[in-house]
Amino acid sequence: MKFVRRELDEIVIYDLDGDFDSRSAGPAKEEIRSAILNGDMSLIINLEGVSYIDSAGLGTLVSALKTARENGGNVWLTGLTAQVKMVVELTRLHHVFDIYDNIDDALEDIRGGGNSEASG
Domain borders along the chain are 2-110
Nearest residue to 105 (alpha-carbon basis) of 39, 46, 59 = 46
pLDDT in tens, 51-89: 999 999 999 999 999 999 999 999 999 999 999 999 999
Residue 36 confidence (pLDDT):
95
* Beta carbons within 8 Å of 51's beta carbon, 6+ residues apart: 18, 19, 81, 83, 84
As its CATH architecture, domain 2-110 has 2-Layer Sandwich (3.30)
Which class for 48: exposed (0-12), middle (13-18), buried (19 or more C-beta within 10 A)? middle
pLDDT category of residue 112 using cuts at 50, 70 and 90: confident
pLDDT at 113 over 80: no
Supply the pLDDT for residue 115.
Answer: 47
pLDDT, tens only, 16-55: 999 999 999 999 999 999 999 999 999 999 999 999 999 9
What confidence tens digit (pLDDT) does each residue in 86-109 have? 999 999 999 999 999 999 999 999
Q: What is the pTM of this model?
A: 0.90
